[in-house]
Amino acid sequence: MSCYPYSSSLFLNNNTLSPASTRLHRTCNSARFGLRISASLNVEVHAPDSNSSSNPRITKSQELMEESNKVFVGTYARAPLVLSSGKGCKLYDLEGREYLDLTSGIAVNALGHGDPDWITAVTQQANTLTHVSNIYYSLPQLELAKRLVASSFADRVFFSNSGTEANEAAIKFSRKFQRFSHPGEKQPPVEFIAFSNCFHGRTMGAVALTSKEHYRSPFEPVMPGVTFLEYGNIQAATELIQSGKIAAVFVEPIQGEGGIYSATKEFLQALRTSCDSVGSLLVFDEVQCGLGRTGHLWAHEAYGIYPDIMTLAKPLAGGLPIGAVLVTERVAAAINYGDHGSTFAGGPLVCNAAVAVLKKIAEPSFLASVTKKGQYFRELLVKKLGGNSHVKEVRGVGLIIGIDLDVPASPLVDACQQSGLLVLTAGKGNVVRLVPPLTITEQELDHAAEILFNCLPVLDKTNKN
C-alpha cells in the first residue's frame, strides 16, 4: 500500500461499505469519550448533552475527527473530511456533500465505488467461504492466479496483502535467486538499485528501496546495499549493474508518488540488456501504474520490455487488501517451501473480488476507453490550465496524470476539496496527482477540469503570502 503522511492534502479515508454488505456495528460507550460511533454505511454520531447539543455549529464530521485524533496513532495527516458513502465516481461526507473523486483511494478503486459486479463477487464469496489460510487450496485463489499468468509474462504468482508486502517478497526472492544461481559462492550478488523519486513501500526492506530520505532516516539502520541512481540515467545504471554485485534492479515504469514521471523505452531496454548480461533480475513495480491505469493492462507492455518479477497491488481487488508478485519459472525455481508466506494473503474473499476486477479491466474495449479518456483529459487540462504561470507541465499516460506546479500544490488541492473535487499531491508536494476511477466519464472529466481551472487563483494568493 502507498500512503503519504507529509501533506494534509494526501489522505482520504476510503472506508465505504456497500449497501449489500453485512452491516457491522461496533459501539464504544465511554465516560472519557462520550461518543457512540456506528461503523456502518450510515455512520451515526451521538454526542453527549454537554458537547455539540449545546453548540449546534459543531458538525458530526468535526465530532468524529476530534474523537479520532484522541485514539489513533498519529501516522496520517488526514484531510479534514469524513467520507461515509460512495457511488461510481462520487463520494459523500457525513453532511451529505458530494465530491467528484479523482483519488480512487490512492489509485485503488479502479471500478469506482459500489460496482455491481464487484459487490456480487464479494457478497457471494462472503456467504460461501472467506478464509482458510495457505495451508489449503481454494478455487478463487487458483482462478485469479491462472488469469494473472495468462495475461502476463509470468509463469507463477505469489499473493501478499499490499504493495509494500509484494516488494518485500520480491526483495527476498531476488536474493534467494542469486544464492540459488551461485552455489558455493560465499558472496553472491545481494545489492539493489533503485532510482530517484521512487516509492516502493514502508516496511523495512521496501523503505530501504524508497528514495526520499525522510521516509528512511527515522528508522535507520534500514536494509543495507541499496544504491539510488538518477531515474533515466542509462550510463550510471549500466556501469553499476556490470559490477556484478547487483541482485536486482527495482524500477517503476511510471512513477506515481514520485511525481508522475514515465520511463523511456531506451532506459528500460538498457536495464533489461544489462541485467541479462550479468544475471541480475529486473523488477517492475506496477503497484500504482499497473492493471489498466495507463490504457494497457500492464504499464510495461507499452514498451515491449518485460521483467523477471512484477509487483502489483492497489487496484487488483477493487478496494480489498491484496498484493501479488508475478515471476518467471526461472525465478520460481529458486523458491522452496517456507522461504516466504502470509496468513491472510490470497484468501477466497479477496481473490474472488480480484477476479471480478481483472475480468472487467482486461477487456480490450475497457482498456481502449482508458486510453481515449486519458488523452482527452490531458489535452483538456493543457488547454484550460496550460496558460497559467504556475503550471509548468501536464504529464502522464492513460488515467495517471500529474500537473507540475512551480509552487506547493496543497493550496490548490484544498481549494478543490472545498469546491467538491478530491485530488492528491505527489513529487515534492508540487504536483497535483490525478488518478480517477477508470470508469469515469468524459462529462465528469470536464467537470473536474473546470473546478481545477476555477481554483487556480488560490496559487497566486499563496505565492503572495
User: pTM for this one?
Assistant: 0.86
Q: Check residue 339 and give its pLDDT.
A: 93
Q: Check residue 184 and give its pLDDT.
A: 86
Helices (H), 127-201: 139-150, 163-181
Paired residues of 312 in beta bridges? 324
| Three-class SS state of 310 | strand
CA dist list (Å): 415 to 59, 406, 425: 20, 17, 13
pLDDT at 49 exceeding the cut of 60 = no
Give the span between the Cα atoms of 267 and 283, in whole angstroms: 14
Give the span between the Cα atoms of 290 and 107, in whole angstroms: 10
In the chain, what are the domain boundaries? 59-69+77-110+363-459, 114-361
Q: Check residue 155 and give its pLDDT.
A: 98
Provide CATH code, domain 114-361: 3.40.640.10
Q: Check residue 463 and give its pLDDT.
A: 64
In this structure, the strands spanning 36-38 and 44-46 are antiparallel
Helices (H), 391-441: 410-418
| Three-class SS state of 400 | strand
Give the span between the Cα atoms of 405 and 411, in whole angstroms: 11
Question: DSSP state, 101?
Answer: E
- What's the half-sphere exposure (Cβ side, CA atoms, 13 Å) at 333? 7
Per-residue pLDDT reduced to its tens digit, 187-232 = 999 999 999 999 999 999 999 999 999 999 999 999 999 999 999 9
Per-residue pLDDT reduced to its tens digit, 405-445 = 999 999 999 999 999 999 999 999 999 999 999 999 999 99
Q: In CATH, what class is 59-69+77-110+363-459?
A: alpha beta
Per-residue pLDDT reduced to its tens digit, 261-300 = 999 999 999 999 999 999 999 999 999 999 999 999 999 9
Give the span between the Cα atoms of 335 and 359, in whole angstroms: 29
Report the Cα 245 to chain-centroid distance in Å: 30
The CA radius of gyration of the chain, in Å to the nearest whole number, is 23
| Helix 348-361 with 116-126: angle, nearest 10 deg | 160
Per-residue pLDDT reduced to its tens digit, 303-355 = 999 999 999 999 999 999 999 999 999 999 999 999 999 999 999 999 999 99
59-69+77-110+363-459 and 114-361: identical CATH topology: no
Quick one: what percent of the chain has pLDDT higher than 90? 85
